[in-house]
Amino acid sequence: MKNQDLQNNQEYKYGFTTDIENIKAPKGLSEETIHFISKIKKEPKWMLDWRLKAFNRLKKLKEPNWQKPKFPKINYQDLYYYSAPKSMKDKPKSLDEIDPKLIETYKKLGIPLNEQKKLSGVAVDAVFDSVSVATTFKDELTKKGIIFCPISEAIQKHPELVKKYLGSVIPITDHYFATLNSAVFTDGSFVYIPPNIKCPMELSTYFRINASETGQFERTLIIADKGSYVSYLEGCTAPMRDENQLHAANVELVALDDAEIKYSTVQNWYPGDKNGVGGIYNFVTKRGACRGKNSKISWTQVETGSAITWKYPSCILQGDNSVGEFYSIAITNNHQKADTGTKMIHLGKNTKSKIISKGISAGKADNTYRGLVDIGRKALNSRNYTQCDSLLMGNKCGAHTIPYIRNKNSSSTIEHEATTSKINEDQLFYCNQRGLNQEEAVSLIVNGFCKDVLQQLPMEFAVEAQKLVGISLEGSVG
């Protein structure tokens, strides 16, 4: 990238807000709020009951406090749990009916909402604040029997699927933030791939928090039926605000026999300014269940944004011969904090898992890898390989590795490796010698360091992610 471009990009480029009239739920967390959300979504009674059950459970739960990054107490009564663009109240039938301002926002974000962008071959579901605003390529997907729609629509149109799978991977009795999400989730994407269908294009969701004092609680449910395949992308941005905003999403994946789900995330929520003011609290629960034989779930994440990232995309390997993968890059700069990693729970025979994690911290940031590999007594002949590398830039940041490794049978093998170091002076010198300036050199070396993970991303995302890696570290060396 040219120097000029770098300068232009230095600030968080997604930090604009869009002036759109919003409908908000009454402030605060109460049964009333949940009734409000459920009513506005025209949900059936079973869904409301489900939410209330979660809410009752929530009253008994406490926020977890074992994480590395500490944060001031969140006042859950001071948040809006539902915020939607007013013009969305009666859902638009086609893209033409969408508020042009919204379209403009997505243009700024570079999201291919327009069908004209067919060539890019990505079907998009865009979630603005709490509501899914548009889903593209619906017809083509419907022909194949694939369901890709906002989850609120799925609750109405495909209640049998939602009832069967919602909460089956992340039960409503899970930890605090997951339960909170179950009670107040507003929208998100729903994907169902019928048996033996390979989804012909990448499915993608863009999340954006716009309104202030709003929490975003979306819920994604992806079901890959026998022998199917789907690749799903997720991107997120938010405007710059000096308050902390909460984002507590739940993502559930279910892979049946011989199915494969590939889930990629480029997370670029607003990270707060240089002094650590503002930014998103990204407390997300992502979990996938390899229910069937020979199923596979692969998580890839590039985490560059958020003031605090706290999430562990996990795989429960139930089916025999199932495979779980986790590829992660977490970059923290300034005052950002990340506590992320994965859980691989081996239950079936011959299950395999692989974890590659790259953490980079600069400025005054803290970056923690925390992971669990648990091979159960009956998971014979299972295999895990874990590699987590950390790179430190400057002496005010921290890099931590906290793996939990449990092996409960003798036919399984676990390997774990971790290293922590700084950028090699010789490599920097070599790059400088070839005419690269300090920042370009760092960007190049870091991209090389992350290569194993970047390779896993779908093409369009890989390019964006590479740029992000460079931008996120600007000003951290020299």
Partner 1 sequence: MLNFKINLNEIDKIGKFSKEEKDFRLKNLNYFNNVGFPNKKQEDWKFSDLREIVSKNFSKLNIKSSEQEKSKINFIKDFEHNYIVVINGRLTVSDFRFEENDKIKLKSFTNNDFADRKENNPLINLNHALSDKGFFLEIEENYKFKKILVIYNLFTNDLNEIILNSKNKIKIGKNSELHTLNLIINQSEKNFFNNVYENVVLEKAAILKNICVQNNKSSGYFHKYSKHELSNASNLTTFIFPSGLKFNKLDLEFNLNGENCECNLQSASFLNKIDHQEIKTRVNHNSPNCKSYQKVKNVLDSESKGIYQGKIFVKDVAQKTDAYQLSKAILLSERSEFDSKPELEIYADDVKCSHGSSSGSLDKDSIYYLMTRGLSENESVELLVNGFLSEVIESIKSDSMKNFLKKKLADQLNGYKKN
Residues that bind partner 1 (CB under 8 A): 66, 377, 390, 392-422
Q: Which two tokens stand for residue 311?
A: 């999430």
- Nearest-10 Cα torsion for 85, 86, 92, 96: -80
Shortest separation between residue 316's beta carbon and partner 1, angstroms: 19
Distance (Å, whole) CA 260 – CA 272: 36
Shortest separation between residue 60's beta carbon and partner 1, angstroms: 17
Nearer of residues 47 and 414 to partner 1, judged by Cβ: 414
The closest of 320, 321, 317, 323 to 298, measured between CA atoms, is 323
Shortest separation between residue 109's beta carbon and partner 1, angstroms: 35
CA 148 to chain centre: 18
Nearer of residues 295 and 368 to partner 1, judged by Cβ: 368
Nearer of residues 313 and 359 to partner 1, judged by Cβ: 359
Nearer of residues 7 and 411 to partner 1, judged by Cβ: 411
Distance (Å, whole) CA 61 – CA 460: 41
Give 227-263 as a DSSP string: T-EEEEEEEEE----SSEEEE--EEEEEE-TT-EEEE
Shortest separation between residue 406's beta carbon and partner 1, angstroms: 5
Shortest separation between residue 63's beta carbon and partner 1, angstroms: 16
Which residue matches tokens 């892979």? 255
Nearer of residues 401 and 466 to partner 1, judged by Cβ: 401
Shortest separation between residue 366's beta carbon and partner 1, angstroms: 9
Q: Are 187 and 217 in contact (CB under 8 A)?
A: no
Shortest separation between residue 391's beta carbon and partner 1, angstroms: 9
Nearer of residues 9 and 420 to partner 1, judged by Cβ: 420
Nearer of residues 275 and 395 to partner 1, judged by Cβ: 395
- Interior/surface letters 200-223, b for 16+ CB within 10 angstroms, e for the rest: ebbbbbbbbbbbeebbbbbbbbbb
Distance (Å, whole) CA 319 – CA 314: 15
SS3 280: strand
